[in-house]
Structure 1
Amino acid sequence: MEKDWVLIYSSTLETDAVIKKQLLENNEIEAVIINKQDSIYKAFGEIELYVLRDKVLKAKQLITI
């Protein structure tokens, strides 16, 4: 992943990450989800949500409302 992307959220629940990603995109913030969960044992690993470095503060404010 490029250096301009910053991790702002991680979860073991994919739905949480997808909802937060959609919220960010609805507010014109580009976001990317990376699934690092084990394909068999979902208890291992997390779903990570990244945004561009210059949007980190606004993105964190939006997802913590």
Structure 2
Amino acid sequence: MSENWVKVYTTGDAFAAEVLKQGLTEAGIPAVTISKQLAAYNFGEVNVMVSQLDFDKAIEYIFQNEIE
């Protein structure tokens, strides 16, 4: 993975992070999720990451879709 990935979204809801990742991917913006949750308790953060080159497009997607 030679690209530089940057965080565009953080949530405590793993499902919401996966939905956002899928939406970004369908919009042509490659995305990954990185979970920092304690698996047994679903406590912690999940980060959605995109390439630095796609950062502006990802933020625009999040804004247009009113994702909080």
> TM range, normalised to the smaller chain?
0.7 to 0.9
- Paired residues, number: 64
Q: If the length of structure 1 is used for normalisation, what is the TM-score?
A: 0.87
Q: Secondary structure at the match of 1:50?
A: strand
Identity %: 33
Residue equivalent to 1:47:
46
- Aligned residue for 2:34, secondary structure, equals strand
- TM-score scaled by length of structure 2: 0.83
Structure 2 gaps, min length 5:
none
Q: Distance in 2 between matches of 1:12 and 1:60?
A: 19
Task: List alignment gaps of at least 5 residues for structure 1.
Answer: none
Aligned to 1:20: 20
Residue 60 of structure 2 corresponds to which residue in structure 1? 61
Helix, strand or coil: the match of 1:8?
A: strand
- C-alpha offsets along residues 11-54 of structure 1, whole Å, 9 cap, x if unaligned? 000111111111110111110101100112223x2011000000
Once residues 9 and 2 of structure 2 are traced to their aligned partners in structure 1, the CA distance between those partners, rounded to angstroms, is 17
